[in-house]
A and B are shown apart, each in its own frame.
Chain A
Amino acid sequence: MPANGQFLGDTMKFADFMCFEAVIPELQATDRDGVITELVTALDKAGRLGKGNCKKIIKEVIKRENEASTGIGKGVAVPHVKHSAVKDVVGAIGQSSTGIDFSALDKQPVYSVILLISPVDNPDRHLQAMENIFKHLQQDKFRKFLRQSQQADQIEDLMREADENPSL
């Protein structure tokens, strides 16, 4: 019985919000704020952030990150912010083979960063996207395959497959 009328089956899939043009198999940046900048810029270049919002969004994401690290452990970080530039949730992903210091909770470097920009007035969509992200990032196999991916289309394939096969 759904707790508040929302079936968990309604959870968003990666394909529902990930911008597959903003997949960076090897991040250029080596520091946290540089990575955030790189990922927001990728979404901006893909036309997903409206006009003239890129710098503001970068600032907002960094500000949120300073409040509390989204590096929740196991080598992953999920920087995010709600912003009026988007009407629905949009995500980007970047991988770093060398590891980034995100002041993570387990004090370990971060190798996979998923950036999420969510609409201001629809908190449920944000939660659904986060639920999906965490569900998959929690699984050792998924994280391993992610780190092994060298090309953007491999990462896209992995996410699409994970959408179809939740136990991946």
Chain B
Amino acid sequence: MASGVEQKGREYTLENAICETAVEIKNADGLHMRPAMQFVDVANRFECDITVSNGESRADGKSIMQMSILAATCGTKLKVTAEGPDAQQALDALKELVEIKMFGEPPPKYETEKSKTKTTES
């Protein structure tokens, strides 16, 4: 969804582009202080404003204090909204951090017949 978009022929200015994505917290320990700091570090690389919502409260994605208050547990889905020229890049980077890199932390332990792998904390 984009707002504030100026249409000049086929050109669009994306200065006020608003982008949104949902991310799910996948690491076992959730969004404790260390992941929250990583999130804020990544968010601060971008110009756009970043807001994170857990459905009840909203946090400034660039504030470590506010992000820590979200206290998102493993399995929590967060809505990340970015507004500004690099909004989409910001969302891509944050989604990668949260869901793919999982903040460099292990997922919840599952014990199965097939594999009992020892998870190591980074």
B99 in contact (CB, < 8 A): no
Whether B32 and A126, one on each chain, are in contact in the complex, defined by CB atoms closer than 8 angstroms, is yes
A4 in contact (CB, < 8 A): yes
The residues of B that contact A137 with a CB separation of less than 8 Å are 65
The residue from A73, A78, A123, A135 contacting B73, defined by CB atoms under 8 A apart: A123
Residue of B nearest to A9 (CB): B56
The residues of B that contact A73 with a CB separation of less than 8 Å are 64-65
The residue from B56, B64, B76 contacting A72, defined by CB atoms under 8 A apart: B64
Complex Cα–Cα for A137 and B63 (A): 14
Whether A3 and B54, one on each chain, are in contact in the complex, defined by CB atoms closer than 8 angstroms, is yes
B47 in contact (CB, < 8 A): no
The residues of B that contact A4 with a CB separation of less than 8 Å are 73-77
The residue from A3, A74, A128, A138 contacting B78, defined by CB atoms under 8 A apart: A3
Q: Beta-carbon contacts of A123-136 to B below 8 Å, as 1s and 0s? A: 11011101100110
The residues of B that contact A124 with a CB separation of less than 8 Å are 30, 73-74
Whether A134 and B69, one on each chain, are in contact in the complex, defined by CB atoms closer than 8 angstroms, is yes
Whether A131 and B69, one on each chain, are in contact in the complex, defined by CB atoms closer than 8 angstroms, is yes
B5 in contact (CB, < 8 A): no
Given contacts A4-B76, A105-B64, contact A123 B32 (CB under 8 A): yes
Range for the number of chain A residues in contact with chain B: 20 to 34
Complex Cα–Cα for A11 and B54 (A): 14
B88 in contact (CB, < 8 A): no
Residue of B nearest to A133 (CB): B68
Whether B64 and A127, one on each chain, are in contact in the complex, defined by CB atoms closer than 8 angstroms, is no
B96 in contact (CB, < 8 A): no
A6 in contact (CB, < 8 A): yes
Max chain A C-beta neighbours (<10 A), residue from B29, B34, B68, B77: B68
Given contacts A3-B78, A4-B77, contact A127 B65 (CB under 8 A): no
A70 in contact (CB, < 8 A): yes
Residue of B nearest to A132 (CB): B71
With A80-B33, A124-B73 given, name 16 new contacts (CB 8 A): A3-B56, A4-B74, A6-B73, A68-B33, A72-B65, A73-B64, A105-B64, A123-B30, A126-B32, A127-B29, A127-B72, A131-B70, A134-B69, A135-B69, A137-B65, A138-B65
Between A and B, 26 residue pairs with Cβ closer than 8 Å are: A2-B55, A3-B54, A3-B75, A3-B77, A3-B78, A4-B73, A6-B73, A8-B57, A68-B34, A70-B33, A72-B33, A72-B68, A73-B64, A105-B64, A123-B29, A123-B74, A126-B29, A127-B31, A127-B32, A127-B72, A127-B73, A130-B32, A131-B68, A131-B69, A131-B70, A138-B65
